[in-house]
Structure 1
Amino acid sequence: MSRRELIQRRLLDEGSVSSAALAEEFSVSLMTIYRDLDYLQTLGLAKRKSGGAVLRQRFFTAEQDSEDTPNIQSAKERIGHYAAHHLVDGKEGAIIIGAGTTTLEMARALPDLPINVMANSLAALGALSLHQHTKLYALGGELRKDIMAFGGTMAHANLKTYHFSKAFIGIDGIDADAALTSGNELNARLTELMAEHAEEVYLLADVRKFGQRAFRHVLSLSQINGIITDQEIPKPFLELCEEHHVQVMIADSTNKED
């Protein structure tokens, strides 16, 4: 394992590192450690501070996801397009698409296939309503006006009566210890049920979500089949995915038009 990978591990385990201590531990100069920390900062894992670095956004709040930049929006579009065109075909029995900004991009990019599609987001339902061949189903239940998606006990009861070949979900954070996490209890429970009633589960998440943790555990890596993201993920997370037999798919700009 390289020095930078070991520093990543330290950040994930302890939440902060000291430049001086790292320089002494690895017998390198402070300038070398500064370059290592700068590199980790570009990955979105670390935030430089005087004397070292801290793990960037150790705890995630749902409001943070609403502050998307054009680059982040582009990443979500690529992820959604990849999932829609590489993981869904006309042979699917039924799929379910969870609520979220990245899963919404998948709904918008989904080809008009003769399959059953269920969604709980009003925006996703609106996009899919333009299809001529897709059989579209709304999850139903209480409409949560904060995210314009269905939830609550009625939605849970409805969901338990269905079975899906694939579920496409989003989350707020992917943590090396807590796995997949959410900042919203109601959405977390709905996501758990989607996973329980699907043969395969795919997570759509941009690279910012790696190394973040929200307060509610949703699923472990062993409960999903694949992750679609927008660029190479940090090595510790890649190793965790390999350990749990989770396929990692990169939706970069070169395959947007596939």
Structure 2
Amino acid sequence: MTGRTTRNARQDQIADHVLREGSVSASQLAETFGVSLMTVHRDLDELERQGVVRKYRGGVSAQPSSVFESNVAYRLRTARAEKAAIARVARTLIEPGMAVMLDDSTTTLGVAELLPDAAPLTVITNFLQVINAVSQVDGVRLIALGGEYYPTHDSFLGVPCIEAIESLHADVLLTSTSAASGGLTYHQEQEIVLVKRAMMRSATRKVLLMDHTKLGGTALHQLAPLADFDDVVVDAGAPADVLRTLRDHQVNVHVAPLDTP
């Protein structure tokens, strides 16, 4: 095994460890993998460059903050039961013959996996994982939104993506975002905010999918008022006072039970 292969394998193992733990100190990584602190920092610099992790003084994190969104690999590991429950309810809002737009959130990936029995459908998305999930489904016409590819999100963003969205119209948009509170929704990254806003403008019905961990927080950029959405789907872990607040903003609130098989 060459030095480069060993280094790449170690970086893969470090990435998997951080994604699993969420946050860990550099000294813990050095001890776990039996390498020097300097070697760990070099590995973390490379993983940060790839958008897998985010370094902070003394350690590294895969978790999101109010400024940084987490890598898609980390998001796929979190709130899985809640996202699956939300996806089942969101699927009931889709009817055969619709044009359905899905953003690059991991919650919408769960919906995409439930779409085969809703065909025929047109699916519009910028999320590579959704593209892969529906590309071979009988009866699904797929429109893949191009643009600049962002590995951190496994999706296409930027001006070409927005222009493609603006040339289309969907019956329903299923979207998620990082945080919601005070009647507003938020996301950490402006490129994603701009794409989500374009999707909202291009859809008749706008459905927001939010697991309860995202409720009550904020992030760097305002996305849109809650009142701009027609429906909000949350899981049953959402507190009663938060549900009341959501309903106060004149949106249809759907609560997804977590015990659905």
- TM-score relative to the length of structure 1: 0.70
Give 1:195 deviation, angstroms.
0.6
Matches within 5 A, 1:1-258: 59=66, 61-63=68-70, 67=74, 72-84=79-91, 86-92=92-98, 94-112=99-117, 113-176=119-182, 179-256=184-261
Give 1:81 deviation, angstroms.
2.3
Over aligned residues, Cα RMSD in angstroms? 2.2
Q: Secondary structure at the match of 2:242?
A: helix
> Is the 1:75–1:206 contact (alpha carbons within 8 Å) kept by the matching residues of 2?
yes
Q: Secondary structure at the match of 2:90?
A: helix
How has the CA–CA distance of structure 1 residues 207 and 64 changed in structure 2, closer, same or farther, with 3 Å as cutoff?
farther
Give 1:149 deviation, angstroms.
0.4
> Is the 2:134–2:142 contact (alpha carbons within 8 Å) kept by the matching residues of 1?
yes
With CA pairs under 8 Å and 6+ residues apart, which has the higher RCO, 1 or 2?
1
**Structure 1 residue identity aligned to 2:224:** L
* Separation of aligned partners in 2, 1:161 and 1:70: 34
Give 1:60 deviation, angstroms.
6.5
> Is the 1:107–1:124 contact (alpha carbons within 8 Å) kept by the matching residues of 2?
yes
Give 1:116 deviation, angstroms.
0.9
Gaps of 5+ in 1: 1-56
How has the CA–CA distance of structure 1 residues 244 and 157 changed in structure 2, closer, same or farther, with 3 Å as cutoff?
same
How has the CA–CA distance of structure 1 residues 181 and 157 changed in structure 2, closer, same or farther, with 3 Å as cutoff?
same
- TM-score relative to the length of structure 2: 0.69
> Is the 1:60–1:173 contact (alpha carbons within 8 Å) kept by the matching residues of 2?
no
**Structure 1 residue identity aligned to 2:129:** A
Per-residue CA deviation, residues 39-75 of structure 1 (Å, 9 max, x unaligned), is: xxxxxxxxxxxxxxxxxx9946412886569771121
* Separation of aligned partners in 2, 1:238 and 1:99: 25
Q: Secondary structure at the match of 1:248?
A: strand
Per-residue CA deviation, residues 19-47 of structure 1 (Å, 9 max, x unaligned), is: xxxxxxxxxxxxxxxxxxxxxxxxxxxxx
> Is the 1:206–1:230 contact (alpha carbons within 8 Å) kept by the matching residues of 2?
yes
Give 1:241 deviation, angstroms.
2.3
| Structure 1 stretch displaced more, 111-120 or 158-167 | 111-120
**Structure 2 residue identity aligned to 1:139:** L
**Structure 1 residue identity aligned to 2:244:** E
Q: How many equivalent pairs are there?
A: 197
* Separation of aligned partners in 1, 2:78 and 2:108: 17
**Structure 2 residue identity aligned to 1:247:** N
> Is the 1:98–1:120 contact (alpha carbons within 8 Å) kept by the matching residues of 2?
yes
Give 1:141 deviation, angstroms.
1.4
Give 1:82 deviation, angstroms.
2.0
* Separation of aligned partners in 2, 1:149 and 1:226: 24
**Structure 2 residue identity aligned to 1:77:** A
How has the CA–CA distance of structure 1 residues 242 and 194 changed in structure 2, closer, same or farther, with 3 Å as cutoff?
same
Identity value in percent:
22
